[in-house]
Amino acid sequence: MQTQIKKDNRPHVVIVGGGFAGLNAAKSLAKLPVRVTLLDRRNYHLFQPLLYQVATAGLSPGNIAAPLRGILRGRQNVHVLMDEVRDVDPARRTVTPARGGALGYDYLIVATGASHSYFGREEWAQAAPGLKTIDDALEIRRRVLLAYEEAEREPDPARRQAWLTFVVVGAGPTGVELAGALGEMAQYTLRGNFRSIDPAAARVLLVEAMDRVLTPYPPDLSAKAEASLERLGVTVCTGTMVAAVEPQAVTLRRRDPTLGDQDEIVPCHTVLWAAGVQASPLGKLIHERTGAELDRVGRVVVEPDLSVKGFPELFVVGDLAHFAHGLERPLPGLAPVAMQQGNHVAKVIAARLADRAAPPFRYHDKGTMATIGRAAAVAQIGRLRLSGLAAWLAWLFIHLMYLVGFDNRVLVLVQWVWNYVTYRRGVRLIVGQGTE
């Protein structure tokens, strides 16, 4: 079956992935004399920085996700297709979706992102889910809430404590935010909800192999983040690795310079994985089809204009791209990088269409931030370093500003103010498998 998209003379740009990079590319390209096909296996754009709030019952999925078709409704030259990519043929310039016939392209933009990594221990995925999709977040919410229900009915103190132990692996922004929200839930939200257990007796362990949390930040902000986490009852275990994950326990390994490895078995039922980076499998496919270099985590090394070496009409942007031109380290996998790269590719294509030379991509760092529960956050905005309430307000403002959809912004603000005033997390619903 050949493509159903009506043929016309405008160049065809295919974008794979509707995250920050792909969506911004689509929006910018919509203004050019091209036709655009945006492929995504999901029907929505997700505001990933707030996904941990869905996992911890503070927000609803609908607050942080918006249907791609709705966002791009007014862009008549953009066609959205809900599908995955099965193959790419850069010589013939075609993309083959999993369900349809091959699509020819003039330009191809691959923006399928990255995920967490189990460092080769994929068998841990079932017991220690990660947080990348709405389905992941709902599964984590379900496990956390069910753990309290199990604890409430468990008469044996040791087994009860195992249900009340939550281990978060990896202290990057996602891990820190998850652990902070779990601490807040235990200390405040669930207070008075149970009759047999005290939710404040829950243990939240944040496990990090490096010697401090939030390693992309300066050490003093890491120290402030650790102090905030500990005020929320989170136990921060730096210099610690996970040696084993089982359904009933986790083995933590601490490297001791004098004693060697020290293993501790922590009985627990809820392990959440927020460690490692692993590029989307499309990286490998592009490597196989173009010979492009991949980095250690599978990201595609791109040229200064974000194209793949030897294939000027094939671009890789966002978390899947390894961009290091003129930099000490490759750009991190952050939403602002992805957005700027998505917009930049549209500029490059516009320049090519006009036979102009396009400037190389340059990242404008407007700062990074992470939040650690109520009114505690750390932020680095240029030379400015904020922590505490000021950082939290900046965090809230910036996140609201970038949320897609006006109603989402208003609803999230109302929900946030309400959660803040009452310590409530109203979306504590156990849905999905096992509730029937």
* Residues 340/364, Cβ–Cβ less than 8 Å: yes
Pairing outcome for strands 107-110 and 311-316: parallel
248 binds a second copy (CB under 8 A): no
Residue among 60, 228, 290, 371 that touches a second copy (CB under 8 A) = 60
Tokens of 114: 């990255």
Cβ-based nearer residue to a second copy, 62 or 216: 62
Tell me how far, at minimum, the Cβ of 223 lies from a second copy, in Å: 35
Q: What CA–CA distance (Å, rounded) separates 318 from 335?
A: 8
- Nearest partner of 49 among 430, 387, 268, 377, judged by Cα: 377
Tell me how far, at minimum, the Cβ of 56 lies from a second copy, in Å: 13
Q: CA 27 → CA 114, 298, 430, distances in Å? A: 22, 27, 36
Tell me how far, at minimum, the Cβ of 83 lies from a second copy, in Å: 8
SS3 158: helix
Residue 223 makes CB contacts below 8 A (sequence gap 6+) with 212
- Dihedral sign for Cα atoms in the order 169, 175, 181, 187: positive
Query: Which region, judged by CB under 8 A, interacts with a second copy, from 16-24, 175-183, 258-266, 418-426?
Result: 418-426
410 binds a second copy (CB under 8 A): yes
* Residues 153/196, Cβ–Cβ less than 8 Å: yes
Q: Which residue in 122, 149, 177, 288 is the catalytic one?
A: 177
- Going by the DSSP 8-state scheme, the letter that residue 277 receives in this structure is -
Cβ-based nearer residue to a second copy, 145 or 252: 145
- Nearest partner of 186 among 216, 222, 161, judged by Cα: 161
282 binds a second copy (CB under 8 A): no
69 binds a second copy (CB under 8 A): yes
Cβ-based nearer residue to a second copy, 290 or 408: 408
Size of the site for a second copy (CB under 8 A): 63
Tell me if residue 177 is catalytic: yes
SS3 393: helix
436 binds a second copy (CB under 8 A): yes
39 binds a second copy (CB under 8 A): no
30 binds a second copy (CB under 8 A): no
Q: Which residues pair with 242 in a beta bridge?
A: 252
231 binds a second copy (CB under 8 A): no
Residues labelled as active-site residues: 177
The residues that touch a second copy, with contacts defined as CB under 8 A, are 1, 4-5, 41-44, 60-63, 65-67, 69-70, 73-74, 76, 79-83, 99-100, 133-135, 138, 145, 149, 152-153, 155, 190-196, 405-408, 410-411, 414-415, 418-419, 422, 424, 426-432, 435-436
